[in-house]
Amino acid sequence: MATNEQIVNNFIDAWGRLNAEELAGFFTEDAVYHNIPMRPAIGIASVRKVLGAMMRDMTGVKFEVRYQAAAGNIVMNERIDHITNKDGKKISLPVAGVFELENGKIKAWRDYFDMAMFNSAAAA
């Protein structure tokens, strides 16, 4: 069985395929996904919907994990999310992520980032 850290690493790698259905498969039915500057997505259907909406504006994404630590059911990482939007604009956003896992699935995912920095980069 994969460790919690391996599960998060597999999830991060899967982002490059931009497949919301595949990514939703990493979550528990009652999962919570919260980009802290926005409202949380609660439940797998809501998580799937939010992921799909995000991906409609992307043509590429890569998470560059700088540091990662795991203890028990928690995996935390500091990373740079490199996003290419549908207009071909590239955005690199510093993010701190916290993942809570349960029985091999992500039960909660919280990403902390500066929304003003994201909006500024997207508008530039």
Backbone angles phi, psi at 19, to 5 degrees: -120, 100
In this prediction, residues 112-119 reach a mean pLDDT of 89
What was the pLDDT predicted at 27? 98
Cβ-in-10-Å burial (0-12, 13-18, 19+) of 100 comes to middle
Residue 70 CB contacts under 8 Å (≥ 6 apart), including other chains: 3, 4, 5, 8, 76
Catalytic entry in 57, 87, 111, 114: 111
Residue 99 CB contacts under 8 Å (≥ 6 apart), including other chains: 4, 8, 11, 74, 75, 76, 77, 106, 108, 109
Share of the chain above pLDDT 70, in %: 100
pLDDT per position as a tens digit, 63-79: 999 999 999 999 999 99
pLDDT per position as a tens digit, 21-50: 999 999 999 999 999 989 999 999 999 999
Residue pair 111/35 in contact by the 8 Å Cβ criterion = yes
Active site residue 13: no
Q: Which whole-number Å values give the CA distances from 114 to 1, 14, 96, in the listed order? A: 35, 24, 10
Active site residue 111: yes
What was the pLDDT predicted at 24? 97
pLDDT confidence of 106, banded at 50, 70, 90?
Answer: very high
Catalytic entry in 13, 30, 81, 114: 81
Q: Is the pLDDT of residue 124 over 80?
A: no
Which residue's entry shows tokens 């992500």? Answer: 106
Residue 102 CB contacts under 8 Å (≥ 6 apart), including other chains: 28, 73
In this prediction, residues 75-100 reach a mean pLDDT of 95
